[in-house]
Structure 1
Amino acid sequence: MTLSFPWLDLWSEVRTAGFIWQAIAVAASILLSLLLSRLAVRWGSAQSRTADPEASQAWSVHPVLWPIAAFALLAAARMVFLKWQPAPLLTLALPIVGSLALLRLVFYLLRRVFMRNGNAGGLLLGFEKVFATLVWLGLAIHLTGLLPDLIAYLERTSIPTGRYQTSLLVIIQAIASIGATLILALWLGAVLEERLMKVSTIHSSARLVMARAGRASLILVAILLSLSLAGIDLTVLSVFGGALGVGIGLGLQKIVSSYVSGFVILLERSMAVGDMVSVATFYGQVTRINTRYTIIRSLDGIETVIPNDILISGAVQNHSLSDRKLRLATRVTVAYETDVEMMLPKLVDVIRDIPRICQDPAPHALLTGFGVNGLELELGFWIEDPENGKGNLLSLVNRTIWRVLSEENVRIPYSQHEIRMATNVPQSFPSPELSSIKQ
């Protein structure tokens, strides 16, 4: 094994005019790439502010653009120099800038896919550190001249896989191609989902179906393409496909049922994000519909994860499927001497001015029955924003009713219980307590 250091060729040309021109080309490429990337980011930010303010995050790619542009400019300069003279400085700078561009590009794609709420998780940061270490280690091996020998060693070393022998080089190439295509597919899926969510002319359920199906299709195509690029015969996946089918049929029935139910819910549009629903003992707003489960957020802030097969097989009350208006009612019992013909219109008039109560349909008051203690009245009204809660509005209506009844001196009857203490106990029916005392 012979070590060859590419940068040793620089010493013989340090004081030559060719080296100076190469240094000028490197500096000019870096400065021009910084300028071009800054102009591109500024133009993209201006376009996003005029079109869609939320799209400005997509143009925060200055750390990615300039090393890619610098790599392209250095490659072009090297091709020009090699026509007249050797270019050791450009040959040395090209892999260094290329490694930096690769790191920045991969980090950008990963953070666009996996970062949530602007915070990178520990697993993502750990992967970035490992990937950066591998890239810089590979660059060091390349600069020391050990890369051809390492490739030859990996190609000679084989691992038995059934009846075949697979070299380590093919395995590493397969892992690298799968990783690269998966990252690219996930990034394209995230971009596709962002674009679809902004199309207001398509129903939200249809947008979710298209986004989920597009991401799944991109991942499948990425895996098949990466395996083909690595030289792996795709017919070996037939056994895996058969085993997967048996596993789905036997052990994954509930999961598959939830996934199929999720697509059915999204396609038939029986439920959408923002609807107020009641499922079993849960009531709240649908905040997310995934392919396997649906999240319902109750009015007290508690989020419930419900598998989609429950929503398909059970009864679901959708309070805002075709009309978001919801009827609420409160009841009160008044004394029999109350002038009902005067009180009912007065109660309707006092709650009509409450902001959240609809005017169409208008509030109404009813005499629903003759109770044991008094006349039973019901005051009904409609609202259009059930997601803002019902308890606070019912409390306000009840306080308004109480104030009107107090002003009109209307008596609210209530049950009274009279307790009498028996002093003379008949001798023929002695109580158990007295019998025990006598004994």
Structure 2
Amino acid sequence: MILLQVICTIWTCLFIPLLNAEEFVPKVTETLSEYSFSLESFDDSNSLIRLDNQVVWISSDSGENWEAVKEIEGHILELIVDPLHGQDRAFVSIHLSPKFYVTDDRGKSWRALTIPVSENCRLGTSCSIATHPTDKKYLIADCPCFINDNGYIQIQNEIYFTNDGESFYNIEPSLKKKEDDHITSSSCNFVKSSKDSDIEGNDASILCLFSNHGYDSDRHLSAAYTQLALSTDGGKTFKKFDEFNDKVIYQYKILKSHIIVSTQDDRYNEMSPMDIWISNDASTFQKARLPAQVRHVDMYGIYEDSIGRIIIPISTIFTNEKNDQPAPSEILISDSQGLKFLPVEWTINPHFGYIDIASPHFLEGTIIGSFHPSFDYSHNKGKYNKKIARYETKISVDNGLTWSNLKVVDEENADSFPCDITRPERCSLQNPFYSI
């Protein structure tokens, strides 16, 4: 009898939730607008925020009711929920202004902050804000400027730092500008890129890349000088890396466990081969071993997988005009130390064009690779065989060991497809512009 009661109790606990699940109907709320708008949500809450016709609106009940924010003044350029503090913080930038607004309570209250840009800085857009993953008071502001230098317009950006969330000071580049430099640029990022970062450093540790470029009368690059430097006091003092003294630093990216830097030896040739350097401690860099020469590395497309390996898409876009068949675009994956890279056999087709990859953090071990064909008509006048240049998208769920096509699952509309969707090896989803 007792056993029967236990079985009935278990059955009741399992069956009633199933009934409730079948009866559940999601509530849909409609909000009309005459204009296009951007919509963001705060993490783990029912709070939504949207930018609609230069007005910021807040909802605390999943969009059923909306209230306009009255504190924000000026022509709004962008609304962003802080990717590192998505539970409660958002930023609103003002077009052509060093002023922006921030909320730390899901839009209930807003405060205005102004970056003290130099007097001769005419903003081309607004200042962008980078946040610290653990300390919300630490911010880096990047302000692109047009500078009038005795009648000549020069492009440069000014970097500012705050350690109290209120007052900003300018970060002076440690690389000095020369008279014949036409474009100077700076970029700074926190050494800790995530809350679970393995790279050592205090909260004020930042890595900066300073660059000066000169061009001749035909607008061809005449010289490029760069410097990568580390600061442990929020940009007040810097230590440069001697490994890069005689090199041109192209880009850098900070991941959870690694810092990646791409360099070129020839400062007068933008298409010279690149080297990849890796650091695991933000103190020293080692050159990585690559299977072949590379000339185009998009740092923004680099990811670190769930076991600490670096994934780099190599896109062959521009080539030497004497080369009728360039090296194919490919995906490289490193060992756990990030120092030895090997190509991934993710497709049997040779490619010439762009490769994008995504490794979403919420799908551990998953990598999506997407190829977009491109032709270098400026050099070879379209000699490449178009038959091998086609869109291709594949997915791996085992950290890149095996790859498969994206199967289309739509039995009700199977007849509407031009191919047999039950055969994914011949009929699969090809989407070069996915977003995850």
Question: Where is the helix percentage greater, Structure 1 or Structure 2?
Answer: 1
Higher relative contact order (CA 8 A, sep 6+): 1
The answer to whether TM tops 0.5 is no
What TM-score comes out, normalization by structure 1 length?
A: 0.21
What TM-score comes out, normalization by structure 2 length?
A: 0.21
Question: Where is the strand percentage greater, Structure 1 or Structure 2?
Answer: 2
